[in-house]
Amino acid sequence: MQMKSKEKVGRRYSSRSVLPVVLAAGMLLLFLFILVSFFFAPEAGASFCPSIGCLRWKLGHPFFGAGDPSVELVRELRKAFVGDQDGHGGPVVVDQTSVDAAAESLDGLIAEMATTTSDYNQHMDVKTFVHKAKAMLLKMEHNVKKARLQGLIYRQLASIGIPKSMHCLTLLLADEYTLNSLARSSLPLPEYSSRLTNDSYIHIALLTNNVLAAAVVVSSTLASSTSRENLVFHIVTDKKTYTAMHSWFSLNPILPAIIEVKGLHHFDWPAHVNALVMETVEEIHRSSLAHHQLARVNEEYGRLETLNPNAFSLMNYLRIHLPELFPKLKRVIFLDDDVVVQRDLTDLLNFELNGNVNGAVSAGVIDDEGYQQCPGKEYGDYLNFSNPIISSPLLGLESQKCAWLGGMNVFDLQAWRRSNITQTYRHWLRLNRESGFHLWRMGAQPPSLIAFDGKVQLIDSSWHLSGLGRRIPEPQLLESAAVIHFSGPRKPWLEIAIPELLVFWKAHVNHSNEFIRTCKVME
């Protein structure tokens, strides 16, 4: 696939020569603004200087002496800010103590200068002004960064918090599992159990511990299907969520489709398979512990990274063991729990993967000239290509290559079993931990890009539209997509969900259900 070259336009002036002029001009504007403020602010102006003659005395001969005062002022500011051109005299240096003591705002700086120069015998030179102004700007920059980080933390907290209504739903369903024998009914009913391993059916797999999200995925898939009797859902969850998940689907049957709900503790693998899966689990735990220890060193980075639950979610990593989770299946459609299905998925059953393992939509698009563009993420957005391990020619990855999308994938499990994908994935998980997480930020997708590289069959982009947890897509894309994916922090079950997109998800929430009503879910 062709990549459009990116031409760099030459610049007439170097940034080294332009930057001092820009900085000096900025300081000049700030200085002139302060002078104007003194004239128009009665108290400050009076205390600073009552006359032009006073200003000449206060600011010194270089400003109002012989020659053009504006040229002299720019020269003096430039000298104070970046030093002399001949190398004599360095720029004004501001230490942390000065920054801490600096004014919080321009009004504060004006008031400070007015106080400093209230005595006619005190001279306010340019270097003093530049020192105070630089200190104020550095302090303001620090405050902006601090506020931005605080905002990111608050948004991250909002994106990982589980609403009380969903806690309520899980607890009520778990209680129902204990009290109501119907909630403990077999899934599927024994007469349908043979379908679980019959490859003539459409097998859809979800790994999730979110009951409400799983219910929406199943409901939307059923609503979009033209042959429900051919659908078989496989939900894998953790031990803690198993009873609530089982209760929901036992009390809300989906016949003629069938569903099985299994906890990780229910899998009875052979010893060698169990050892393989447990090694992955242990590696995730080791990586999680190492990452939290590293976060203590870099506090700001750590506060955000450790708040990302997906980076440490065992369910996200265990998808690399789909062949072991479903040892008797040849092909499976994998869906994340934050998707809504809008079109029948039957065609994916027979989609030709051409010997590849993973059928996925690319984050790139083909423009009118036949070139590939990447409005989505590239490999370089996931992997650290400044690290020689990642950029090694032996690995053969390209930073500008469009990544494939996770969340709606067709996997040929037979081809997967013949490959070394799982081993490669686990190998790179360990390498990233041992590198101090310098190969990529903690997450399940980066090692997947490496492990599946060269084994991905791209499918038409209309099958999967991602990013609905970050932005509102084009209406025509939203309407035509077979699967819409709320990837990003603004999940549809959270208060920070995008209101314009929430309707697509809420349409598949069973608002008449007694547990949904009791817990006031999505109200």
Note the pLDDT tens digit of each residue in 203-240.
999 999 999 999 999 999 999 999 999 999 999 999 99
pLDDT of residue 180: 96
| Separation of alpha carbons 146 and 156, rounded Å | 15
Structure-token match 């930057």, residue found: 19
Sign of CA dihedral 231, 445, 401, 453: negative
pLDDT value at 488 more than 80: yes
DSSP 3-state helix, strand, coil percentages of the chain (rounded to 5)? 55, 10, 35
The torsion angles phi and psi of 436, rounded to 5 degrees, stand at 80, 25
pLDDT of residue 349: 84
| Lowest-confidence pick of 119-123, 369-373, 407-411 | 119-123
Among 119, 106, 134, 258, which residue's Cα sits nearest to residue 189? 258
Among 116, 117, 443, 139, which residue's Cα sits nearest to residue 306? 443
Sign of CA dihedral 457, 463, 469, 474: positive
Mean pLDDT of the chain: 80
All domains of the chain in start order, with CATH: 17-157 (no CATH), 161-362+405-518 (3.90.550.10)
| Lowest-confidence pick of 77-81, 117-121, 457-461 | 117-121
Beta bridge mates, 233: 204, 259
- Strand 358-361 relative to strand 408-412, pairing: antiparallel
pLDDT of residue 62: 46
Determine if residue 376 is left, alpha or beta; phi over 0 gives left, psi from -120 to 50 gives alpha, anything else beta.
beta
Residue 60 or 189, more confident: 189
pLDDT value at 447 more than 60: yes
Using 50, 70 and 90 to split pLDDT, how confident is the model at 55? Answer: very low
Do the beta carbons of residue 498 and residue 468 sit within 8 Å?
Answer: yes
| Separation of alpha carbons 32 and 50, rounded Å | 17
Sign of CA dihedral 487, 489, 493, 498: negative
| Separation of alpha carbons 225 and 336, rounded Å | 18
